[in-house]
Amino acid sequence: MTSISISQPTVLVFAGDHGIADNGVSIAPSAVTQQMVLNFLAGGAAINCFCRSNDVALKVIDTGILLPVEQAHPQLVVQRLGTRTEDLSKRAAMSLEKVNEGIELGKRIVQQTIESGSNLVMFGEMGIGNTSSAAAILAALSDLAVEDCVGLGTGISEEQYQTKVSLVSQGVKRCQGSSPLEVLSQVGGFEIVQMVGGFMGAYEKKTPIVVDGFIVTAAAYVAALIEPKCRDYMIFAHQSQESAHKHMLKALDAKPLLDLGLRLGEGTGAVLSVPLIRAAAEFYNSMASFEDAGVTV
């Protein structure tokens, strides 16, 4: 029997900003994305705590945040597709050329991570307004109503929620009859596009990706539509509190490992699942059968 070993588990946190955030669909402005990226690099965020306690490496990918980090850092990878996406409620979030560029960049960073020795990669994300993008992707590629796809994000008010539904609906209307790549162009995010490419790159390397919450699952959903075999390499960490996450998981026939009521992002749920994955590997490798153990039944 071939044993399972876990080598250099690594979480890649993809950060990107969204033009729709200017409409007040989040509790925070876009500038907070940079502040959180700096916090990741300083080691002070929730994801850093969970990485330290579970011996997981961390890299942050700047896919296009409004305020870039000016200083180089060993944990920061800069592969920006722009300053941020366009406002998806008014126009296409990005061009198809940017979608394809982002997919290639996502493939590359994941395959570099695998080639450096990691055989368990996790995805996380950071980006003010990215639940709007993820909700729009789900609504555009499924039979669900926009109202069933839009949630409260990090805790918006009822008034903000109604605004968010209206704005997402405007973007989704442009997506009728569109392919997954066209939907990414119309309502996607730079971080989501690069994660789509990352899933495809992991499939090419036959390496599992641990899927975090709502936004990462949106990227997984698109990747599986483009290349269905990607789905075989996805481990779903948890079901988040974002209301539409359960619909995405159902569409992917996914049974998440954990349900902790999280709405944190950053890859936190993915990293929290690592002890369970390690335990499963040890169980597979080492647990004796009744026959081997001399147990009669």
Classify residue 252 by burial, with Cβ atoms within 10 Å: 0-12, 13-18, 19+.
middle
**How many Å apart are CA 130 and CA 19, to the nearest integer?**
10
Closest CA to 241 of 173, 154, 183, 170: 154
CA distances from 95 to 140, 175, 186, 226 (A): 17, 14, 8, 18
Options 115, 266, 282, 291, the catalytic residue: 266
Q: Is 29 left (phi over 0), alpha (psi -120 to 50) or beta?
A: beta
Tell me how long the chain is: 297
- Residue 126's SS3 state is strand
**How many Å apart are CA 275 and CA 218, to the nearest integer?**
24
Classify residue 100 by burial, with Cβ atoms within 10 Å: 0-12, 13-18, 19+.
middle
What's the maximum distance between 2 C-alpha atoms anywhere in the chain?
A: 69
40 and 168 Cβ atoms separated by less than 8 Å: no
> Would you call 159 a catalytic residue per the annotation?
no
Q: Which residues pair with 58 in a beta bridge?
A: 11
Which residues are marked as active site?
A: 266
